[in-house]
């Protein structure tokens, strides 16, 4: 298998907020093509990588889009107002750097006259250093999208980066694909679009593929930090998580049990995951057509939807091994 961190580094730097996935799609295509029997993109922007077999049809989905910012208004001062693309945590925005698709960079800040408890996204702005509206409009325009800017770090076993959600899931799928030399099953690796705004890509991909079984690969929250409002029995570095349920899905018990049995065969430590906030592509796939036997493999991640998310490299590598073993047998 290729180095997972090296794959991740190529993916986290690619531009790709929801609805603007062209750049990240090209990066994934380049990395996946050597291991595939065909690659295509559908009308909604999903990238679908095929590994042919004559057996059961299996869909694996990891969303490639990210949360971001859409320019809605430019002040006379040159400051840029924005709307949310996906779920933004306003407590984590101040001081973060952002990047537009054309390379222009800026800093997120807010109106200090507002008390923190009353502050909404309407009180935030992007400062690109422009001194006037005219100057700002030479750099960006209404409707332009921006994403968090930064670099990825490997600190021992800990991955730290913006957009581990869900470039890490994409890296896991590419790594799994590279490890499958042959398969009896007919495999469809879907790098889905627009998950962060309503699981849209997975819905259309699941309809066209009409799979017998599916796995959604995404990050999941952890319960190993002090003072958390929602307790979870998931910890960083304790193995990938087998999804039981989240707000979008109750997984098929047969699929979850299959994953646990295979993890035992591989001597991979896994955790059971019930995530009470948020959902994944699994929710859209399970409801497609007459229904699909659906499960999920999740990578425990701290600080989701912030500019600095944290996950475990060993959890991610084990997730790739478990997925490759499961879908090729």
The domain spanning residue 258 has which CATH number?
Answer: 3.40.630.10
Cβ contact 296:310 at 8 Å: no
Residue identified by tokens 């700002």 is 136
Whether 156 is covered by a domain: the verdict is no
Clarify whether 137 is annotated catalytic. no
- Model confidence band, residue 91 (pLDDT cutoffs 50, 70, 90): confident
Print burial letters for 257-276: b (CB count within 10 Å at least 16), e (below 16).
Answer: ebbeebbeeeebebbebebe
The yes-or-no verdict on residue 1 having pLDDT over 70 is no
Same domain, 177 and 137: no
Domain end residue (candidates: 148, 180, 207): 148
Radius of gyration (C-alpha) of the chain in whole angstroms? 20
How far is 25 from 48, CA to CA, in rounded Å?
10
Same domain, 306 and 213: yes
- pLDDT, residue 227, reads 87
Residue identified by tokens 């962060």 is 196
Least Cα distance to 139 among 108, 103, 97, 110 occurs for: 103
Q: What is the pLDDT of residues 286-313, one digit of tens each?
A: 999 999 999 999 999 999 999 999 999 9
Same domain, 107 and 179: no
The yes-or-no verdict on residue 114 having pLDDT over 80 is no
- Among 152, 195, 273, 309, the active-site one is 195
Least Cα distance to 283 among 187, 172, 201, 179 occurs for: 201
Q: What is the mean pLDDT of the chain?
A: 95
* Number of domains present in the structure of the chain: 2
- pLDDT, residue 237, reads 97
Residue-number span of the structural domain to which 62 is assigned: 4-66+163-327
Bridge pairing between strands 97-100 and 153-155:
unpaired
Choice between 231 and 84, residue whose per-residue pLDDT is larger: 84
């Amino acid at each position: 298998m290729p180095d997972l961190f090296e794959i991740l580094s190529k993916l986290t730097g690619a531009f790709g907020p929801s609805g603007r996935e062209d750049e990240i799609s090209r990066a994934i295509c380049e990395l996946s093509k050597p291991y595939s029997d065909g690659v295509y993109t559908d009308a909604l922007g999903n990238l679908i990588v095929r590994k042919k077999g004559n057996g059961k049809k299996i869909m694996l989905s990891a969303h490639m889009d990210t949360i971001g910012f859409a320019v809605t208004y430019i002040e006379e001062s040159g400051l840029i107002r924005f709307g949310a693309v996906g779920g933004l945590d306003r407590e984590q925005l101040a001081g973060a750097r952002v990047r537009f698709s054309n390379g222009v960079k800026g800093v997120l800040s807010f109106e200090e006259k507002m008390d923190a408890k009353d502050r909404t996204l309407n009180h935030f702005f992007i400062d690109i250093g422009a001194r006037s509206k005219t100057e700002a409009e030479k750099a960006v325009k209404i409707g332009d999208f921006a994403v968090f800017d930064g670099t990825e770090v490997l600190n021992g076993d800990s991955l730290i980066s913006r957009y581990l959600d869900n470039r890490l899931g994409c890296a896991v799928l590419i790594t799994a694909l590279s490890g499958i030399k042959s398969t009896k099953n007919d495999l469809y690796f879907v790098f889905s679009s627009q998950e962060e705004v309503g699981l849209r890509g997975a819905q259309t991909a699941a309809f066209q593929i009409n799979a017998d079984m599916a796995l959604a690969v995404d990050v999941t929250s952890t319960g190993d930090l002090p003072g958390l409002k929602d307790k979870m029995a998931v910890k960083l570095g304790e193995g990938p998580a087998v999804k039981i349920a989240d707000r979008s899905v109750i997984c098929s018990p047969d699929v979850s049990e299959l994953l646990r049995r295979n993890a035992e065969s591989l001597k991979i430590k896994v955790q059971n995951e019930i995530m009470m906030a948020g959902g994944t592509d699994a929710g859209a796939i399970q409801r497609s057509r007459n229904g699909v036997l659906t499960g999920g493999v999740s990578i425990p991640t701290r600080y989701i939807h912030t500019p600095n998310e944290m996950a475990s490299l060993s959890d991610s590598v084990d997730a790739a091994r478990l997925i490759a073993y499961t879908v090729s047998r």
